[in-house]
Amino acid sequence: MNPVRVGLLGLGTVGGGTANVLSRNQEEIARRAGRGIVISHAAARETSFPDVDTSGMEIGTDAFAVVDQPEVDIIVELIGGYEPARELVLRAIANGKHVVTANKALIAKHGNEIFAAAREKGVMVAFEAAVAGGIPIIKALREGLAANRIEWAAGIINGTGNFILTEMRDKGRDFADVLAEAQRLGYAEADPTFDVEGIDAAHKLTIIASIAFGIPLQFEKAYTEGIGHITREDVAFAEELGYRIKHLGVTRRTEKGVELRVHPTLIPGRRLIANVDGVMNAVLVKGDAVGPTLYYGAGAGREPTASAVVADLVDVTRTLTTDPGNRVPHLAFQPDALSDLPVLPMEEVETACYLRMQVADRPGVMADVTRILGDEGISIEALLQKEPVGGASDVSVIMLTHRVVEGRMNESIKRIEALDTVTGQVTRIRMETLDSN
């Protein structure tokens, strides 16, 4: 049987990795897919490709020419970003080609439109590499856990952010220095604020939530908070209290709606996921039948991401002749069976919190703070006061609270910050126990 022909858009880090993995493992891949898979055409900005096996490829600069190439069966989109990726993918679909993409931004923001177009044309759009790099989390959620009612998922789904937090904790390195290294290693997004402000993680979490709960993709409703305000002191205080700070994406089904949030989070140090360090990613999923399951691996990088791209190519190749109605639905649930459960506004989400504040070292200050929390019905679980450093007149106070609705905590923080005995802003870091409930 003739090999399946692939048109590759982008021959950068992941594109080069995809070409090399396909070439190096071509025999095993053909044995799995039932026929060979070759990259016949590619579009790239670069003109030289050191360390990439480009044999047999016709390489040009025009991505639209590849998408319009009649010989190509599957388009692999590795350009990234919203545009022109959206236009290219929609044109590939209109041309009757299947699509494999690693583009989480594209799927999170335009996935509903893209999947509708793909359904109409009877083609597949596969996106395993869009979430957590090489970890087959889409496959696991969509197929492996299909028996379950998924209750929640929580993940470290941005390698760059996790790498930064880990290096800051272990080596006391500066934020900017670690970020520059992540960029050099090819982990960071083209715009690294997407990594550190949680936008990249929110793209991925949006996709996880849709597949977990069978809801349309709603990236614009995700709550996103970055790691820029986390200090080395917070990391050390958290450790002292038995916790680790991780930049977590959390999605949970509640009676009122779906939580969809990315923020720094204190998690108990004894959880396996608390020990996921460096550029590694992990996603913890709780299903009602299976209980908690944990998926761990490289969330970024050349060949780990290529591993997911090539797995999608094998999947698409295997199902080329399947009746479109019998394929696994893009968002795991049949398109006419998606739920309209709303995404909850952040003010309605309930979490426990870590609070750090600088207060004057005077009688009655703590009473003022605890009175405000008491007025708002917020119960304190632990309290830590540090002695003044070098004769300073104020001290750091750290509190862990019981679970509280976000709106109430916002109100309390506003009132605490208004006290003239409190200096600067209160740092609030949400907490998750990630136990099996």
Q: CB of 10: closest distance to ligand HSE in angstroms?
A: 14
Tokens representing 299?
Answer: 């969330």
Stretch 115-134: interaction string toward ligand HSE, x if CB under 6 A: ------------------x-
* 307 contributes a contact to ligand HSE by CB under 6 A: no
Size of site (CB under 6 A) for ligand HSE: 11
Residue 204 annotated as catalytic: yes
Tokens representing 256?
Answer: 């009122």
217: which residues sit within 8 A by CB, 6+ positions away? 107, 108, 109, 111, 112, 206, 207, 210, 331
Q: Which of 151, 200, 312, 406 binds ligand HSE (CB under 6 A)?
A: 200
Q: CB of 21: closest distance to ligand HSE in angstroms?
A: 17
Q: Which CB sits closer to ligand HSE, 64 or 175? A: 175
Vertex 295: Cα angle to 272 and 201 (nearest 5):
95
Segment holding 32, helix H or strand E: helix 26-33
Q: Which of 188, 207, 331, 404 binds ligand HSE (CB under 6 A)?
A: 188
Vertex 369: Cα angle to 234 and 432 (nearest 5):
45
Cα distance between residue 5 and residue 12, in whole Å: 20
Long-range contacts of 386-389 (CB under 8 A, 24+ apart): 388/361
Q: Which of 195, 259, 312, 432 binds ligand HSE (CB under 6 A)?
A: 195
Name beta bridge partners: 243: 268
Please choose, from the candidates 415, 434, 306, 403, the residue with its C-alpha nearest in 3D space to the C-alpha of residue 371.
415
Q: Which CB sits closer to ligand HSE, 226 or 299? A: 299
Cβ 158 vs Cβ 299: under 8 Å: yes
Query: Which position among 104, 109, 139, 204 bears the catalytic label?
Result: 204
Only segment of 155-163, 313-321, 388-396, 412-420 that touches ligand HSE (CB under 6 A) = 155-163
Cβ 101 vs Cβ 130: under 8 Å: yes
Q: Which of 199, 284, 300, 316 binds ligand HSE (CB under 6 A)?
A: 300
* 295 contributes a contact to ligand HSE by CB under 6 A: no
Question: How many CA atoms, within 13 angstroms, populate the side-chain half-sphere of residue 301?
Answer: 15
Handedness of CA 69, 74, 76, 81 (dihedral sign): positive
Q: Which of 189, 225, 376, 432 binds ligand HSE (CB under 6 A)?
A: 189
101: which residues sit within 8 A by CB, 6+ positions away? 76, 77, 78, 85, 89, 107, 125, 126, 127, 129, 130
Q: Which CB sits closer to ligand HSE, 115 or 187? A: 187
Cβ 313 vs Cβ 74: under 8 Å: yes
Q: Which of 264, 299, 308, 333 binds ligand HSE (CB under 6 A)?
A: 299
Cβ 359 vs Cβ 416: under 8 Å: no
Q: CB of 109: closest distance to ligand HSE in angstroms?
A: 15
Only segment of 43-51, 157-165, 230-238, 403-411 that touches ligand HSE (CB under 6 A) = 157-165
What CA dihedral angle connects 236, 241, 246 and 248, to 10 degrees? -150
Q: CB of 240: closest distance to ligand HSE in angstroms?
A: 28
Q: Which CB sits closer to ligand HSE, 93 or 135? A: 135
Q: CB of 106: closest distance to ligand HSE in angstroms?
A: 12
Q: Which CB sits closer to ligand HSE, 16 or 133? A: 133
Q: Which of 40, 54, 69, 160 binds ligand HSE (CB under 6 A)?
A: 160
Q: Which CB sits closer to ligand HSE, 157 or 422? A: 157
Q: Which CB sits closer to ligand HSE, 127 or 152? A: 127
Which spans of this chain sit near ligand HSE (rule: CB under 6 A)? 133, 158-160, 187-189, 195, 200, 299-300
Active site residues: 204
